[in-house]
Structure 1
């Protein structure tokens, strides 16, 4: 059976690939090589495979060259678009920085105006109290004078009645000169009492006019203070709420830390000396409470990371969230934001706090950690130089190091993190919330 199949196969091959001989002739001898049908088939198959491979390889190379060219062009277009976007963002950031600076100047001017108005308000309140006391004295004097005038009139009437021949003067046989002197003194006292009463009424009218003028001035000062408080407190309140920070709890925490007697945040109020509080007193107390709230907000703002860690020109190179790892190419969580600038760019603390770490941090490189109030921690990684030590207390805006490329990086930048209760949150929440305030 095998022999018949082999014979048939050989016959078919002989039909298409007849046996050939290749002669090789030399000077002394002639030889030949017999090419059997199977050998010819193998040679043809090998040649076909080689030609096919060459065609496929050439096509792959051409397609790769075309694709690479298109990819490079696309990459260049993307790079130009990205660069234009970065330039636009840089311009927007500079504009926001100018707006923040202008807002800060307006805020400082409003605070200065509030301080002046508060002094004027306290002075006017003191003057008003003094005038009220003076009016009370004048009214008392006026009542005494009116009483004395009535007594003098009564005496004068009695004397005049006696001068007409009453039983009292006739019985006493008083001299005429004594009566004349008594009448003169009584008339003089009466005239003086009338004059004093008129002067007292004029003074009372003048004081009433002054009090009305002071009330108008106080009302103007109150309105200006209320407007200033509204302009100053509202942006700070919005900033904390935009950052997701509960304002009531934050302010209560700050108040507990500054509750000592005589401290900067001792609750303020006007005394009413046991009397029912007047509308002005209630209004002044509301304003003073607003000022106290403003002070609390300012202190809380210095203790939360609302400041930008990089004040020189920079660009954002990586945002918070999942991204492609620049080293491995895999997808992983990026727990902060990256600021790219020149080597040695100053880096600043974003809030008041205490340095808890200042050293090498594995992939972080040279790392500084700062613990702030409200359970907030900030991290500044990849520094070229650290300018603080563990345990050191720092203030918002204080320089803590220089930008570098230490640790696991692909270039010079700052990796900045904000952690609340140990959990990483997006730092841009705080930075964007403060754009309209600082």
Structure 2
């Protein structure tokens, strides 16, 4: 069988020689049956492979095109995701930058507010030398009590905010909490200042004087000058502007404190004390009365007090002695200038313990009670003059009862 097949192959593909002549020489190549069969089989296999691949491409071209479209779609989606991620990154960076800028501005605002409050407290210390108290205090240490049976209940500014700083580690929350505490402290200072001012006004209204005019007259008479620098201007972080409400409250409290300081100075400087430091009695009032010598109606421009001979007569307020000596019907007399347009006169003294130009304090002895001049018996004639006119001393003594 094998020999038959090989014989058939030899018939179909006999051995062949290919002669080649060159330069007078003849050469030949022998192509055997086996080589021919191998070449034929190789050509057949190659042809089959070409047919297979052609058919395969023909049948699978659409699938390959669809795959290519899917790959392109996936590539486009990947590019979209990358672009979106980059955009999100840029947005996140911008947000973080904005938040940091906001935080920095908040921190700077907190520092500015803190500086404003510090300057306000320094201002309080300069004009009062102490913390704000519910009841006003005079510069000489005396306490001014309200002209009512008791001080009203202290007013609460508002509820203290919840300490979010203790609940959160966020610096922004802690700054906001501290700013809230600043607002609470500011509100308490504002309320305390208002209460202090109302207290002083209530006391000084008892004098029946226009207190604004009294304080303004002393303010205008002082030698002062310099550039105008509002209390809210700290020179700290220029260009940072706080909200108008905070600035307004700072300026309002500063203005109220100035007014409190002026009223306290007047309360401490004015002739509000009693002119006698020992038990005494009033023997004659202010105004129209019958003259003790001739019985005719006369205008009495002071108060008369009776006590014992040489009873200590004291200054009713701090000031400067502008007269000490004999003055006609007043006898031995001392006159003291207390500022604010007030001058007090102490007449009919037995002796005088001060000299002209001396500075005296409230309660300091300036002489002893006597009966010199136009007098019927031992007593003190006490006058208060305001801007050149005699006023009823009771008007200041009423207020003086609340300067303890």
Provide the TM-score with structure 1 as the length reference.
Answer: 0.49
Deviation string for 1:351-388 (max 9, x for gaps)? 33332221112221211112332333211011122111
Residue 258 of structure 2 corresponds to residue 229 of structure 1: no
Residues 151-230 of structure 1: matches in 2 within 5 Å?
Answer: 205-230=169-194
1:295-325 Cα shifts (integer Å, max 9, x gaps): 1112223343222222322221110012222
| 2:185 match: secondary structure | helix
Q: What is the Cα deviation at residue 259 of structure 1?
A: 6.3
Q: Which has the larger radius of gyration?
A: 2
Tell me the secondary structure at the aligned position of residue 108 of structure 1: coil
Higher helix fraction: Structure 1 or Structure 2? 1
CA distance in 2, matches of 1:345, 1:433: 24
Kindly state the Cα deviation for residue 334 of structure 1 after the two structures are TM-superposed.
1.3
Q: Show the counterpart of 1:161.
A: none
Is 1:275 the counterpart of 2:275? The answer is no
Q: 3-state DSSP class of the match of 1:317?
A: strand
Q: Distance in 1 between matches of 2:282 and 2:138?
A: 33
Whole-angstrom distance in 2 between the partners of 1:205 and 1:281: 29
Instruction: Count the aligned residue pairs.
Output: 243
**Match in the other structure for 2:345:** 379
Displacement after TM superposition at 1:111 (Å): 12
The equivalent of 1:394 in structure 2 is 360
Alpha carbons of structure 1 residues 325 and 260: separation in structure 2 relative to 1, 3 Å? closer
Q: Is the 8 A contact 1:386 1:402 kept in 2?
A: yes
Where do 5+ consecutive residues of structure 2 fail to align? 1-132, 142-167
Say whether the 8 Å CA contact 1:365–1:381 is kept in structure 2.
yes
Question: How much has 1:211 moved relative to structure 2?
Answer: 2.1
2:340 match: secondary structure: helix
Q: Give the number of the structure with larger relative contact order, counting CA–CA contacts within 8 Å between residues 6 or more apart.
A: 2
**Equivalent of 1:245 in 209, 214, 219:** 209
Give me the whole-angstrom Cα distance separating, in 2, the residues matched to 1:312 and 1:267: 48
Counterpart Cα distance in 2 of 1:355 and 1:401: 12
1:334–1:258 distance in 2 versus 1, CA, 3 Å: closer
State the distance in 1 between where 2:309 and 2:177 align: 64
Pair 1:301-2:264 in alignment: no
**SS of equivalent to 1:372:** strand
Identify if the C-alpha distance between structure 1 residues 207 and 351 changes in structure 2 by more than 3 Å, giving closer, same or farther: same
- Between the aligned partners of 2:400 and 2:221, the Cα distance in structure 1 is 23
Relative to 1, partners in 2 of residues 1:335 and 1:211: Cα closer, same or farther, differing over 3 Å?
same
8 A contact 1:236–1:437 mirrored in 2: no
Output the aligned Cα RMSD. Answer: 3.4
1:405 to 358, 371, 375: 371
* Distance apart, 1:401 and its partner CA: 1.6
- Unaligned stretches of 5+ in structure 1? 1-103, 113-203
TM-score (norm 2): 0.52
Q: 1:214 to 1:325 in 2, by over 3 A?
A: same
